[in-house]
Amino acid sequence: MKTNISSYSSWIICPKANPLADLRLFCFPYAGGSSLLFRSWNDYLPPFIEVCAIELPGRGRQIKLPLCNNMDVLVDAIASIIHPYLDKPFAFFGHSMGGLISFELARLLRKKYHLLPVYLFISGRHAPQIPNSYPAIHNLPEADFIAEIRHLNGTPPAVLENSELMQLFQPILRADFAVLETYIYTPEPPLACPISVFGGLQDSEVSCDELQAWQEQTTTNFNLDMFPGDHFFLHSAQSMLLASLAKYLSAQINQNLTFKL
Query: Residues, the chain, total?
Result: 261
Rounded (5°) CA angle 145-151-157: 90
| Distance of alpha carbon 109 from alpha carbon 239, whole angstroms | 30
Contact 62, 53 (CB under 8 A): no
Residue 131 DSSP code: P
Alpha helices in the chain (DSSP H): 71-82, 97-113, 142-152, 157-160, 163-181, 208-212, 233-236, 238-254
Contact 181, 207 (CB under 8 A): no
Known active-site residue 244: no
Active-site residue, selected from the candidate residues 9, 10, 35, 96: 96
List residues with catalytic annotation: 96
